[in-house]
């Protein structure tokens, strides 16, 4: 027996998913969609499953740490389930007598989801839950390192499906280590593509000919101004920077500290586990090897990172992250970009206006559209920052990693994929969430005529221009 052609294999998987989705929709109800989404959520949140998935993710990818993966799997899924719990996604979801429009929720069909190795359990689970909630099937294409975790996740999901006689073909994955060819075929024949991960995959998604939701690169910059609560800011930045060894796209990569409080903040940062390094060349020469990030430093625990950077003697015991003073920004200064490690670039600004200017330069180099942050008690400054920076989010006085992708103490939707708008070459500027997995049909009825008089529209214009 000859092995199945890889492209044919992908086509067969999508065909099974499409058949399952059609049956899912034909026999659909809000209760059924909710049950399927809840089954997928419990598959990752059940404590023993969560622990197994977290351990497997770290063992097979070498990225992050087990306790934080457990926390991430739990909180991201719990938060998502809170967000969608009472959301109507089946049948009539709006009936507006004033406009005469009735809106009916409709599934998209088969979702093709490309997911990264940094979150091989949480990200596919998030996409799967959203897809099922809206009546879709989904086929996941994991990164090579994330295959085993994704396989185990789907095993758990299918086991939960059996309890409710839900077709396992609704949730599938591209088997094996994958390939660009198989992923490309998935992109081409799905009804919607959702891509989180490498910018190469993002570009392929947007040029595939299939409607795509692909998110841009993160390179978060956070301002600490002279009005900030320095102790709280340092603690939040430390907790955020070290969470899951900085695997999140929302992890702080640079901070910009106003000169008036620079030394005081450095002292608070030291208390929070941050060691300030003044020789940026020393870190550059070890964090990058032959133009690429040192694999011994990427998303590693503090001790491993410090050893990889050759800083064991220079930093104090208990150091949790490395803060590197630097001034350079742009392609010739890689510290100003995403570092995927417990390394933080530190810029010194003359004042708030200078801090905004530095932040803007960093974002225009890398990470445009994603998000920035500010620690300040001056209430007008977040708005000033929002107007000056090409960004979709300004996170205020929060641990950035926890705030950007949804939190129980802010109003952002829980997500692991942050749209970056046109600044980041994306079709959305919102957190990817359930609304993006659904489309609608509108029934439009006649209503009493509402035609305005021409003077009602143009009166002010005529007066202003003398027309």
Q: Give the mean pLDDT of 369-377.
A: 97
* Paired residues of 438 in beta bridges: 107
Assigned CATH class of 6-215+432-443: alpha beta
Does residue 180 surpass a pLDDT of 60? yes
Q: Give the mean pLDDT of 188-203.
A: 89
> Phi and psi dihedrals of 101, rounded to 5?
-110, 130
3-state secondary structure of 173: strand
Q: Which CATH architecture has domain 220-415?
A: 3-Layer(aba) Sandwich (3.40)
Helix (H) / strand (E) element for 258: namely: strand 252-258
pLDDT band at residue 199 under the 50/70/90 scheme: confident
The set of residues, in sequence order, having a beta carbon less than 8 Å from that of 279 and lying 6+ positions away, is none
% the chain with pLDDT above 90: 93
Domain ranges of the chain: 6-215+432-443, 220-415
Neighbours of 84 (CB within 10 A): 23
Contact 172, 136 (CB under 8 A): no
The answer to whether the 6-215+432-443 and 220-415 domains have the same CATH topology is: no
At 270-295, the pLDDT tens digits run: 999 999 999 999 999 999 998 899 99
249 noted as active-site residue: yes
C-alpha atoms less than 13 angstroms from C-alpha of 146 in its C-beta half-sphere: 24
* CA 411 – CA 388 distance, rounded (Å): 23
Q: Give the mean pLDDT of 326-347.
A: 96
Angle at which helices 147-163 and 122-133 cross, to 10°: 40
At 58-84, the pLDDT tens digits run: 999 999 999 999 999 999 999 999 999
- pTM, rounded to two decimals: 0.95
Residue-averaged pLDDT of the chain = 95
Closest CA to 272 of 308, 323, 228, 336: 323
Q: Give the mean pLDDT of 143-152.
A: 95
Does residue 2 surpass a pLDDT of 70? no
At 383-406, the pLDDT tens digits run: 999 999 999 999 999 999 999 999
Q: Give the mean pLDDT of 362-373.
A: 97
Q: Give the mean pLDDT of 45-66.
A: 97
Q: Give the mean pLDDT of 340-344.
A: 97
Cα 72–chain centre separation: 12
Question: What confidence score (pLDDT) does residue 397 get?
Answer: 98
At 411-444, the pLDDT tens digits run: 999 999 999 999 999 999 999 999 999 999 999 9
Helices and strands, counts by H and E, the chain? 16, 17
pLDDT band at residue 215 under the 50/70/90 scheme: confident
């Amino acid at each position: 027996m000859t092995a199945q052609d890889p492209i044919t294999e992908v086509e067969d998987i999508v065909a099974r998913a499409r058949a399952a989705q059609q049956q899912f929709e034909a026999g659909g109800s809000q209760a059924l969609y909710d049950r399927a989404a809840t089954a997928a959520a419990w598959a990752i949140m059940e404590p023993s499953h969560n622990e197994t998935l977290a351990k497997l993710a770290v063992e097979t990818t070498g990225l992050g740490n087990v306790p934080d993966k457990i926390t991430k799997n739990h909180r991201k899924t719990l938060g998502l389930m809170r967000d969608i719990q009472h959301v109507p996604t089946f049948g009539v979801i709006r009936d507006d007598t004033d406009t005469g429009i009735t809106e009916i929720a409709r599934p998209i069909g088969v979702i093709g989801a490309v997911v990264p190795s940094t979150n091989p359990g949480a990200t596919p689970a998030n996409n799967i839950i959203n897809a099922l909630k809206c009546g879709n099937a989904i086929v996941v294409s994991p990164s090579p390192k994330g295959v085993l975790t994704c396989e185990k996740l789907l095993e758990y999901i299918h086991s939960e499906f059996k309890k409710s006689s839900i077709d396992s073909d609704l949730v599938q994955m591209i088997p094996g280590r994958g390939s660009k060819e198989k992923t490309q075929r998935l992109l081409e024949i799905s009804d919607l593509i959702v891509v989180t991960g490498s910018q190469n995959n993002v570009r392929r998604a947007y040029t595939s000919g299939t409607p795509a939701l692909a998110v841009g690169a993160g390179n978060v910059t956070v301002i600490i101004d002279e009005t900030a609560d320095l102790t709280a800011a340092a603690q939040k930045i430390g907790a955020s920077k070290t969470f899951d060894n900085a695997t999140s796209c929302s992890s702080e990569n640079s901070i910009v500290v106003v000169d008036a409080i620079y030394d005081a903040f450095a002292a608070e940062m030291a208390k929070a586990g941050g060691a300030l390094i003044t020789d940026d060349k020393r870190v550059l020469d070890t964090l990058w090897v032959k133009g690429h990030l040192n694999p011994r430093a990427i998303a590693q625990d503090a001790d491993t990172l410090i050893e990889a950077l050759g800083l064991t003697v220079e930093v104090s015991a208990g150091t949790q992250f490395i803060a590197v003073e630097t001034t350079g920004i742009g392609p010739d200064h890689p510290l100003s970009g995403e570092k995927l490690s417990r390394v933080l670039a530190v810029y010194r600004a003359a004042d708030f206006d200078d801090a905004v200017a530095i932040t803007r330069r960093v974002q225009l180099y890398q990470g445009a559209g994603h998000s920035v942050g500010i620690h300040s008690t001056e209430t007008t400054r977040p708005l000033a920052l929002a107007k000056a920076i090409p960004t979709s989010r300004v996170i205020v006085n929060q641990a950035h990693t926890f705030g950007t992708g949804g939190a129980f103490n802010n109003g952002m939707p829980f997500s692991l994929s942050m749209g970056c708008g046109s600044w980041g070459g994306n079709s959305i500027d919102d957190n990817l969430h359930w609304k993006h997995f659904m489309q609608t049909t509108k029934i439009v009825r006649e209503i009493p005529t509402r035609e305005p008089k021409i003077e009602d529209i143009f009166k002010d214009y005529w007066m202003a221009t003398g027309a």
